[in-house]
Chain A
Amino acid sequence: GESVGLHLPTLSVQEGDNSIINCAYSNSASDYFIWYKQESGKGPQFIIDIRSNMDKRQGQRVTVLLNKTVKHLSLQIAATQPGDSAVYFCAEDRSYGGSQGNLIFGKGTKLSVKP
């Protein structure tokens, strides 16, 4: 079936290094993707989004890349800090017609930042 999946369940990086979290999707018709950060005991926090008519979008210390040819997106975090330690989810918006909010989430990647 169609799904959004993550390549790696855990990622450990040194403080100050760059982090790259990957995500694959299978629905070629998907046109909107979101990255969320979830800290322990909290709800998912919006980080950055990208639409299918773009292949790159930058935010503060974060960049999302979208490769529609291979149905892959990635989240890059520059100069990773201890506060970036969390689980990161990619989500594919499957909303259609008159509805909203139907996100299909990947299983998440746990990012650990070593001081």
Chain B
Amino acid sequence: KAGVTQTPRYLIKTRGQQVTLSCSPISGHRSVSWYQQTPGQGLQFLFEYFSETQRNKGNFPGRFSGRQFSNSRSEMNVSTLELGDSALYLCASSLAQLGGSGNTIYFGEGSWLTVV
């Protein structure tokens, strides 16, 4: 069974541009969450989607957005990129349909974004 797949793996963007990252969850998983990882702030929760609906959102500005499609695939978008947005963006998926804690969460390899 394939794991969580993220594309692209590496990308370089210029300040002010926007970027879209893609994630395919593990087959059968309908919950997709996104994280940002930086050396200074560590791993931080961005948002979570289930059945095309955002159910929870972390403490990030509105420039960070996401969506989920009917096949559970998800995209996240960052607009008006800033140098501080350079990070590893991780997508994770889980199987359970019910909310709440206790559902095993599996991560992809991430998308490395560099903003210059």
Task: Number of A interface residues at 8 Å Cβ cutoff, please give it.
Answer: 30
A94 contacts across to B, CB distance below 8 A: 101
Instruction: Please state if A95 and B56 are interface contacts (CB–CB under 8 Å).
Output: yes
Known: A100-B31, A100-B50. A95 touches B99 (CB 8 A): yes
Give the number of residues in B that approach A within 8 Å (Cβ atoms): 30
Does B104 contact A43, Cβ atoms closer than 8 Å? no
Given contacts A96-B99, A99-B48, A101-B56, contact A46 B33 (CB under 8 A): no
A98 CA to B58 CA, complexed, in Å = 15
A55 contacts chain B at the CB level, 8 A cutoff: no
Name the residue on B nearest A101 (C-beta): B33
State which residues 94-112 of A face B: CB under 8 Å.
Answer: 94-108
- Our pick among B55, B56, B94, B107 for the contact of A36 (Cβ within 8 Å) is B107
Instruction: Please name all residues of chain A whose beta carbon is closer than 8 Å to the beta carbon of B64 when the two chains form the complex.
Output: none
Contacts of B99 in A (CB 8 A): 95-100
Residues of B at the A interface (CB closer than 8 Å) are: 4, 31-33, 35, 42-45, 48, 50, 55-56, 58, 90, 92, 94, 96, 99-110
